[in-house]
Amino acid sequence: MKAPLSSSTSSSSGILRRSRLSTYLYTLLAFIVFLAIIHGEYSIANFGRVDPIIPSPVISTTPVKKREKVVVQLPSFAVEESEEGCDIFSGKWVKDELTRPHYDESECPYIQPQLTCRAHGRPDTEYQKWRWQPHGCDIPRFNATLMLESLRGKRMMFVGDSLNRGQYVSMVCLLHRLIPEDKKSMETYNNDALTVFRVKDYNATIEFYWAPFLLESNSDNAVVHRISDRIVRKGSMNKHGRHWKGVDILVFNTYLWWVTGQDMKILKGSFKDVEKEIMQMSTEDAYRMAMKSLLRWVTRNLDRERTRVFFTSMSPTHSKGDWGGEASENCYNQTTPIADSNYWGSDSRKSIMKVIGEEFSKSEFPITFLNITQLSSYRKDAHTSIYKKQWNPLTTEQLANPASYADCIHWCLPGLQDTWNELLFAKLFHPDLI
Residues taking part in catalysis: 162, 407, 410
- CA-to-CA distance for 251 and 242, rounded, in angstroms? 15
DSSP 198-246: EEGGGTEEEEEEE-TTSS-BTT--SSS---SS-EEETT--HHHHTTTTT
Strand order in the sheet with 277-281: 231-233, 264-268, 277-281
Query: What angle do helix axes 283-301 and 350-360 make, rounded to 10 degrees?
Result: 30
Whether 132 and 375 have beta carbons less than 8 Å apart is answered as: yes
Cis before 57? omega within 30? yes
Strands 91-95 and 130-134: antiparallel
Of 224, 226, 235, which is closest to residue 267 (Cα–Cα)?
235
CA–CA distances in Å: residue 25 to residues 18, 19, 21, 33, 92: 10, 10, 6, 12, 62
Strands 130-134 and 155-160: unpaired
